Amino acid sequence: MNAYIAKLVAQRIALGLLLIFLVSIMIFLGTQILPGDVAQAILGQSATPESLANLREELGLNAPATERYFSWLTGILHGDLGTSLSNGRDIAGAISERLGNTLFLAAWAALISVPLAIILGLVSVLYRGRWPDKVISAATLSAISVPEFMMSYILMYYVAVQLGWAPSVAMLNDRMSLFEKLHAISLPVAVLVMVVLAHMMRMTRAALLNVMQSAYIETAELKGIRRSAVIWRHAFPNSIAPIVNVVMLNMAYLVVGVVVVEVVFVYPGMGQYLVDHVSKRDVPVVQACGLIFAAVYIFLNMVADIVSILANPRLRHPK
């Protein structure tokens, strides 16, 4: 790695850390301006003014916003995400289990969707303008057009209710084997695969077609090299950077954007955990979940930028 590449990578990492800091400020301010009173939500409408005042003092709600923000940020830097207002549980412990479930769901969706998207993109370019390309394009456009909650309910009705091939509620527990867990999450995984597969495939196809217009690709074809070999050996390696960016963006969506799917299938992940505590106005949980989602999204985008830098031959082999 030359000095220029190292400088670019360091800049991306510094920018990622700065973005996380700025997002933490936005999340804190956003939760502070929410309507309602946390103390009132905890004690109920029948609470006396004295009890409300005592609880606000106990929770530190009377302290200035800047003091509460830096206290919250300092706790996060020390691994302390706070305590849930609704049940008194340690947020870090509750999130660790929920985050593991969300990552388990996202990982299996990624293991299926990423290779499939790249293969379909290669096939679509190989048979450009012919029936395989048209079928793949039509299918992916249809998948993009259907909202994920509607796709979830359609699969739930036909696959779970009518055919009985999979459970309609994706519940997990520690006593389940890997096969039982995969069977339990089969429907939410199928929905997530269909949602991200279409976008990744179409962007892979676009990146490959853009490279296929290069002069060196035409030279390779004039030499009599098979089209499949030209695509795989010459076009695909030079399309890695945009493809990686698209893949990472969709991986970020799999972790951050699973809220709807988790709620529909009652999956015990971060999305369901966040929605449950939003309804209770549990501000520390909402802040912690929001910051974790933002950090994951920023981290994966940072990784995509770094991979794009490392995959750029002009930067790796400067003149």
Domain assignment present for 295 = yes
Stronger pLDDT, 228 or 163, i.e. the higher one: 163
- Give tens-digit pLDDT for 39-61: 666 666 667 777 777 777 776 66
* pTM of this structure: 0.79
Average pLDDT over residues 84-109: 83
- Range in 12-16, 24-28, 218-222, 313-317 with the lowest mean pLDDT: 313-317
Instruction: Give me 108's structure tokens.
Output: 């299996």
pLDDT band for 18, please (50, 70, 90 cuts).
very high
Residue 245 is predicted with a pLDDT of 78
DSSP one-letter code for 136? H
Domain assignment present for 250 = yes
Domain assignment present for 16 = yes
- Give tens-digit pLDDT for 255-309: 777 788 888 888 888 888 888 887 777 788 888 888 888 888 888 888 888 877 7
Instruction: Give me 210's structure tokens.
Output: 């853009």
Residue 232 is predicted with a pLDDT of 77
The single-letter code of the amino acid at 274 is L
Stronger pLDDT, 279 or 180, i.e. the higher one: 180
Domain assignment present for 62 = no
- Give tens-digit pLDDT for 190-247: 998 888 888 888 888 888 888 887 777 777 777 777 877 777 777 777 777 778 778 8
How many domains are contained in the chain? 1
Instruction: Give me 70's structure tokens.
Output: 């830096």
Residue 22 is predicted with a pLDDT of 93
Tell me the C-alpha distance between 313 and 251, whole Å: 25
DSSP one-letter code for 256? H
pLDDT band for 19, please (50, 70, 90 cuts).
very high
Residue 266 is predicted with a pLDDT of 85
Whether 92 and 79 have beta carbons less than 8 Å apart is answered as yes
Nearest to residue 51, comparing CAs of 109, 59, 211?
A: 59
pLDDT band for 37, please (50, 70, 90 cuts).
low
Residue 38 is predicted with a pLDDT of 66
Domain assignment present for 50 = no
Residue 201, domain extent: 3-35+81-316
Whether 98 and 262 have beta carbons less than 8 Å apart is answered as no
Does 165 have pLDDT greater than 80? yes
Does 316 have pLDDT greater than 80? no
Helices (H), ranges, the chain: 3-32, 38-43, 49-59, 65-77, 91-126, 131-145, 148-155, 178-184, 186-212, 215-222, 227-229, 240-256, 259-264, 270-279, 283-311, 313-316
Name every residue whose Cβ is closer than 8 Å to that of residue 196 and which is 6 or more positions away in sequence. Answer: 109, 113, 117, 250, 253, 254
Instruction: Give me 163's structure tokens.
Output: 């055919």
Nearest to residue 258, comparing CAs of 195, 181, 215?
A: 195
CATH number for the domain spanning 143: value is 1.10.3720.10
